[in-house]
Amino acid sequence: MVSRAAPAEVPNLRPTPIGTASSFGFGDRIGRATPGHIRALRSSGTTFVPVLAQQSARELERTGRTFTEVLDAATRGAVEAGWTRGFAADADHLRTVDEVLAALEAGFTMLTIDPSAHVDETEGDLDRRLHDLPWAALEDDWPSLRRRHAGAADDATIARTAALLGRALVHVSELARPARDRDVDIEVSIDETATPTTPFEHRFLVVELQRIGVPFTSVAPRFAGRWQKGIDVEGDLDEIRASIAAHAQVAAEHGGYKLSIHSGSDKFSVYPLLVELAPRLHVKTSGTSYLEALRVVADVEPELFRAILDVSRERFAVDRATYELSPVAGVPYDADLDDPGVRQGLHVTFGAVLTHPEVGPALLAALDANPAAYSDVLEGHLGRHLVALR
């Protein structure tokens, strides 16, 4: 096992910020995927900067891991694979100051701040909602805000957007404060809202972030279409194209930061659109590497795979509540890992499987006994992603 001193001894394997260079996030819920991820990087010929350590606070809660353990696993995998080109480390969907501090302490170089709980999507009295905004914390007032955005929208739209995002802005500022003197990248994610982000909402967000002094290198809006876990995008491709183009234009006009694509795995129908329309991208994947691990287990230990299905089936009704899934998502007894509904069902029940006292250790042992098979499937699957994004 690589010690905690390994990154200092191998400078290229100390995670670093990457700024606005296009990048690809390799989530690894298990801690065994990095060698396969690196094989995908090499065989695809991609120029995207790799984020080899990527994990959300929600995933850590469900797996019982820590940010330090995630970064250690990625570093060990990079050493095993002979990787010398460096990488970044993304602490994803951070919701509290304590989570930010834990990520910084572990050495993560990218903080993805998620203010979703503070986005006000209620349909109440707009005048009251506007009056009740934390204007002192925003160091602002309604007349000043209205003048600032008057050229981009009418007063009603500005007011609705301020009510929607005002508290979220304060929350982002609070979470970004501990990183003020640190060399890290910051992403702001509003992709988990009930409705797609409008171009004006995106513009409002970044103008106000710049005004209150929050530096950022990427923003994750919610695009048109249904960007669900583990499957391709559903929806009208013309509408999705128009949405990507509009958000890319906002980014170009306000600093040239990256558009970040959450739930970015397996979105093969839109990768060409992203490459065509957005010159700077960050694409996040996570659960797809877990699903490929299950593919290996299904092949080498079918009885263990059936036990994983049993655990997932029992847990699915609870876990689906915190993810946006298709109505066909589920875990049938005859599960096919290429079936979109099955992929979603298994995608969200990872925590119950990995923390199960018998099934979790058995899954890890199966992967440890078959490392080449796991790297093979990851190289093929993630390599397909990276080739499509060239």
What is the tens place of the pLDDT at every residue in 52-88? 999 999 999 999 999 999 999 999 999 999 999 999 9
**Residue 282: beta bridge partners?**
23, 260
Kindly state the average pLDDT of the residues 105-112.
Answer: 98
- CATH number of the domain bearing residue 62: 3.20.20.70
> At residue 339, what is the residue type?
D
Q: How many domains does the chain have?
A: 2
Q: How confident is the model at residue 11 (pLDDT cuts 50, 70, 90)?
A: low
* Residues in CB range of 361: below 8 A, 6 or more apart: none
Structure confidence at residue 322 (pLDDT): 84
Q: What is the domain range of residue 312?
A: 288-386
Is the per-residue pLDDT at 4 higher than 50? no
Instruction: List phi, psi (to 5°) of 247.
Output: -70, -35
The predicted model gives 138-161 an average pLDDT of 98
Find where tokens 């919610």 sit. 222
Strands, E assignment, the chain: 23-26, 49-56, 88-94, 110-113, 185-189, 218-220, 258-261, 281-285
User: Is residue 127 annotated as part of the catalytic site, yes or no?
Assistant: no
Lookup: tokens for 85: 């080109």
Residues 258 and 208 in one domain: yes
Q: Are residues 213 and 75 in the same domain?
A: yes
Could you tell me how many residues make up the chain? 390
Is there a catalytic annotation at residue 92? yes
Give the per-residue pLDDT at 387.
98
DSSP alpha helix (H) spans, 116-260: 126-131, 135-138, 142-149, 155-176, 199-211, 237-253
What pLDDT score does 160 carry? 98
Question: Which runs of consecutive H residues, i.e. helices, occur in 320-358?
Answer: 340-348, 350-354
The single residue of 99, 114, 187, 292 carrying the catalytic annotation is: 187
Residue 134 belongs to some domain of the structure = no
Residue 153 lies in a domain: no
Inside any domain, residue 219? yes
Whether residues 57 and 13 fall in one domain: yes
The band of 1, judged by pLDDT with boundaries at 50, 70 and 90, is: very low
- What the block records as the tokens of 65 is 């891991």
pLDDT score of 161 more than 90: yes
Once rounded to an integer, what is the mean pLDDT over residues 93-118? 98
Q: Is the pLDDT of residue 8 over 60?
A: no
Closest C-alpha to 33, from 212, 261, 292: 292
Distance CA 154, CA 158 (A): 6
Last residue of a domain, one of 240, 257, 286: 286
Digit-coded pLDDT (tens) for 175-192: 999 999 999 999 999 999
Q: Is residue 297 part of a domain?
A: yes
pLDDT of residue 301: 98
Same structural domain, 299 and 270: no
Tell me if 129 is assigned to some domain. no
Task: Using the predicted structure, report yes or no on whether residue 380 has a pLDDT greater than 90.
Answer: yes
Q: Are residues 209 and 353 in the same domain?
A: no
At 224, the pLDDT band (50, 70, 90 cuts) reads very high
Note whether 254 and 343 are same-domain residues: no
Same domain, yes or no: 34 and 118: yes
Q: Are residue 249 and residue 353 in the same domain, yes or no? A: no
Q: How confident is the model at residue 2 (pLDDT cuts 50, 70, 90)?
A: very low
- Both 105 and 44 in one domain: the answer is yes
Model pLDDT, residue 47: 97
Domain boundary among the residues 260, 286, 312 is at: 286
**Do 245 and 311 lie in a common domain?**
no
